Chain A
Amino acid sequence: MNESANLLFEVGTEELPPKTLFSNSQALSEIIAQNISMHDLTFEGITPYCTPRRLAFVVRDLSFQQKDQSIQKKGPSLDISYDQEGQPTKAAIGFAKSCGTSVEHLSTREYDGINCLFYSKVEKGKSATMLIPKVIEQSLKDLPVTRRMRWGDNKIEFLRPVHWVLLLHGKNVIKANILGVDSSNLSFGHRFHAPKKIVLKNADDYINLLEKKGKVIVSFEKRKQLIIDQTKKLEKELDGMVELQPELLDEITSMVEWPRCLVGKFDKKFLQLPEEVLTYTMQDKQKYFPVKKDDKSLMSFFIFVSNIDARNPSSIVSGNERVIKPRFNDAEFFLLQDQKTTLASRYDSLQGLSFHRKLGNVQNKSKRVASVAKLIANEIGADEKIVMRACELYKCDLLTEMVSEFPGLQGIMGSYYALQDGENESVATAIREHYLPKQAGDGLPSTLPGKSLALAERIDSLVGIFSAEGQPSGIRDPFGLRRASIGLLRIIIECEYDLDLKKLLSFSASLYPKNLKPEKSCQDIINYVLERLRFYYSELEISKDVIDAVLVCQSSNLLEIDRKIRAVSDFKKLKESVSLAAAGKRIRNILKTVETHASIKIDESLLAEKQEKDLFNLLKGLEPEVNTLSSKGKYPEALQKLSTLKIPVDAFFDNVMVMDKDEELRRNRIALLHKLNELFLEIADFSKLQ
């Protein structure tokens, strides 16, 4: 008999949220794999599957049984196990008890020539049939889902109502009640093409059977590829190009079980609308792929993915065309309405738009932002006039019909209307760009005015919202401060701006009403922004200890911090870093145990041992060099210098007794270590490196 077989699990549900389908499905498999390992069952690997109506996975070659576990324990030696009358002693009885048995059931075994009591037992492995239901139940509970729901009249919660649970290990159904449903060997196909039950005789049949009988492609990757292939074919027919935006592609892949790409068209007259409006309506609202010509201009076609394999798809096509038309009509109407007024003339009405109930209206905000932006513009060399004009106009599009209808077009419409009004092109660009980066992976503003505005906007929001609402707690971030912080630090770091965050924040705070006490929040904001660095660098695969080591230094200059982090991260790969880290830890531990040492001067005449003299001399020469390099931002070179301390530091610790009985010697040595530590801290706290 085989010792293992594939395990198949599928939970059938009502339509799952598409934006998280893929990540939920991945997460489930990861958790399952962990939980199976924890239960000592062996397997080769796990593959997740998902469609809008099911989450599934196959665990390859899952063992039917846990391995038998042999338990062996050594007890006390025989001479202390029995008294003179041959009765078991307390030691023997206690050992037997700890093994869950009595002394007469123990045997003896020789250890290093001494006979000892010995306990051994083979514990029979439990069956997968017994363990798997609990593993799955626990894993579904552990699934990190933002919102679960209830339905009907029961207490069960899941992503969406559950209809069936398929659980097969090889050919056997594992009996379980999961999410309120009894498991079976039944699945169901496509909602409309194959609604009847499908019987699975073997877990291995899953993918093929669901495709052939069920008209369901359970593999996310395969569906995605099908959509790509079909789109490629249609591109050729239309003589156009489609940019398959990855997020949209994933979302659409999550909305179909049997993808079929079709082409719809719209009236050419709509091509006169701003391209962003058309793209936004097609992509964001309708989940269509826009089609472009070679020169990147839009064509009057769109590609959409249906979930039905209709013999004659004409009514599907005409239906979708009918949906897009009134949307474009609306957009055309809004555009005409909006263009009756210039962007600049909306400035006064910004007073009617609240920024935050304690922080005044959007006009107040844009005035504050202008002051901060001016400061930044001067620092980074942006054209002040352009920046000032952009600050007047940058929120005016919030008052247009187009943006109230399509909020995703904020900035884009502002820029469009600004150009229509004959504003300077750089002003228009800054208006559009100040929202960047909106999310991870977004580009930064490309122009200096855009960058000035983007920074000023974020600084003003951070100061205001922190003062009015306090620091955001937990994962809730209703004012988007996390995003704002990451945008802020990305622009400063990636554009290499030598800006001091503290200075900018306190200037911004000085522009808010005094009663809000905004200056009190500045340090919290710096800490909050620095916290975000952890996320930023984790994406760049820089380890946590490096960040910790640098952040200890309490700087608020992001560029300086960035350069240190990169230098230390590179340095950490070298051998020398190990001994510096070790030295850092030793110094730390010693300094921790003694009190005030900052004020103690090193007395050269008290240096007794050769190794402390060597260290002192090297340090004396090194200090100005390291300081100069560090102040120029040349951290890799400074680290190189510091690493020359390796040998003398090691020698010092090997040969010199810091905690000498002689108080003067002791104090002097501590002072020496303190000096060394201070020099390290110019760059980082090496004791944090791991």
Chain B
Amino acid sequence: MTFQKLIEVLQNYWSKHDCVILQSYDMPMGAATFHPATFLRAIGPEPWNAAYVQSCRRPSDGRFGENPNRLQHYFQFQVVMKPSPQNIQNMFLDSLKLLKIHPRKNDIRFVEDNWESPTLGAWGLGWEVQLNGMEISQFTYFQQIGGLDANPVTGELTYGLERIAMFLQDTDDIYNLVWSKKGKQVVTYGDVYHQNEVDQSAYNFEHANTEILFQRFEESESECKKLLETEIIMPAYEHVLYASHIFNILDARNALSVTERQSYILRIRDLAQNVASSYFLKRKALGFPMAKTK
């Protein structure tokens, strides 16, 4: 199964299960959870089912394209369902069957792995899903998001697309993954992203101008605060995303001491929590339109 076919199968599957199929958010972020379709939509009583591919960036994980298992840019397939359906575990397992991952020939396990995002002020309980000892997905019931109690609870499923594709295509090297195939014409993951890994690693580890980044962090922080004063929430949230990504690059550059690191995390969390409560109030003022029975 090609990489693009994998995405197609998952999209079709979750589309049939009443998910709104969205696209990747057009900003850098560390995980699909940062997409407003998860972070903001998990807030408040309005029901919400969505699925989307999100490209994720983790600057510290870059290896200049030399490590067959690590990338600073990769893809998650994200499913969020609020309230979490009673059979959500089985829905997930059925999707694996569609990918021809047979549950009696493989050892599929839900292994306790509770999730916490210090920058988002969010936590949940759940598992990493292991396939023959390899983590292929994260599965979380949000308990708190942006400092607010998750009520009803959002269930979040995050497929690690590269890991699953490597299993399906039986390869040890991410860059050898077949992205698409037409007759004899094959385009690999390496063809599409290897150059990006090399260049981005160089930027993240060596060339990123930390002075400018520190300055941008301050700017995003003050912009976010200012925007919240006038209840302009979506752009305010985007500044949280900027700040968070800048923090990640600074971290990769080793530009933060342990103590500073903690204080930056707390600054981002403050912003995220303020956005979360403003978002909640705004939706409330609108009468939580999606909560109305149709």
Contact = CB atoms under 8 A, between A and B. Distances in A.
A504 B92 CA distance: 58
Contacts of B69: 326, 329
Interface secondary structure of B, over-half rule: loop
A225 B141 CA distance: 34
Nearest to A147: B125
Given A151-B84, A322-B172, A357-B259, A308 B133 contact: no
B109 A319 contact: no
A378 B257 CA distance: 36
B120 to A, nearest CB: 18
Nearest to B108: A192
Contacts of B111: 15, 18, 255
Given A147-B125, A152-B86, A322-B172, A192 B104 contact: yes
Interface in B247-280: 257-259
A333 to B, nearest CB: 8
B106 interface: yes
Nearest to B166: A322
B184 to A, nearest CB: 28
Interface stretch (A58-66, A310-318, A337-345): A310-318
Contact of A310 (B68, B84, B104, B155): B104
A161 B105 contact: no
Nearest to B256: A352
A352 B105 contact: no
Contacts, number: 102
A354 B141 contact: no
B141 A149 contact: yes
Interface string A138-177: 0000000001011111000000110100000000000000
Nearest to A262: B107
A643 interface: no
Interface in B86-138: 86, 89, 93, 103-112, 125, 127, 131-134
B87 to A, nearest CB: 9
Interface residues of A, number: 41
Contacts of A316: 105-107, 132
Nearest to A352: B257
Interface residues of B, number: 37
Nearest to B69: A326
Contacts of B153: 150-153
B267 to A, nearest CB: 15
A18 B114 CA distance: 12
B147 interface: no
Interface in B202-259: 257-259
Nearest to A152: B83
Contacts of B258: 352-354
A153 B83 contact: yes
B128 to A, nearest CB: 11
A525 to B, nearest CB: 25
B152 A17 contact: no
B287 interface: no
A329 B63 CA distance: 13
Contacts of A160: 125
Contact of B105 (A15, A310, A324, A357): A310
A556 interface: no
A14 B139 CA distance: 12
Contacts of B134: 319-320, 322-323
Contact of A14 (B85, B89, B257): B89
B141 A151 contact: yes
Contacts of A14: 89, 110
A482 interface: no
Given A320-B133, A326-B68, A15 B127 contact: yes
A193 B258 CA distance: 48
A617 interface: no
A680 interface: no
Contacts of B103: 191-192, 308
Contacts of A304: 133
A236 to B, nearest CB: 24
B151 interface: yes
Contacts of A230: none
A18 B68 CA distance: 32
Nearest to A16: B112
A191 B105 CA distance: 13
A668 B69 CA distance: 87
B69 to A, nearest CB: 4
A237 B150 CA distance: 52
A307 interface: yes
A286 interface: yes
Interface string A349-360: 000111001000
A163 B90 CA distance: 12
Contacts of B127: 15
A150 B112 contact: no
Contacts of A286: 133
A100 B54 CA distance: 72
Contacts of A153: 83, 152-153
Contacts of A353: 257-258
Contacts of A322: 132, 134, 172
B107 A308 contact: yes
B158 interface: no
B167 interface: yes
Interface string A108-147: 0000000000000000000000000000000000000001
25 contacts: A15-B110, A15-B127, A19-B112, A149-B125, A149-B143, A152-B153, A153-B83, A153-B152, A161-B86, A192-B104, A255-B111, A286-B133, A304-B133, A306-B107, A308-B104, A308-B105, A312-B105, A319-B133, A320-B134, A323-B133, A324-B133, A325-B172, A326-B68, A353-B257, A357-B259
Interface of B: 67-69, 83-86, 89, 93, 103-112, 125, 127, 131-134, 141, 143, 150-153, 155, 167, 172, 257-259
Given A161-B84, A322-B132, A357-B259, 20 more contacts: A15-B109, A17-B112, A149-B143, A151-B153, A152-B86, A191-B93, A307-B109, A315-B105, A315-B106, A315-B132, A316-B105, A316-B106, A316-B132, A319-B107, A319-B132, A320-B132, A320-B133, A323-B132, A326-B68, A329-B67
Interface of A: 14-15, 17-19, 52, 147, 149-153, 160-161, 163, 191-193, 255, 286, 304, 306-308, 310, 312, 315-316, 318-320, 322-326, 329, 352-354, 357
State the 8 A-B residue pairs at the shortest beta-carbon distance, nearest first: A319-B132, A153-B83, A354-B259, A320-B133, A15-B110, A153-B152, A306-B107, A192-B103
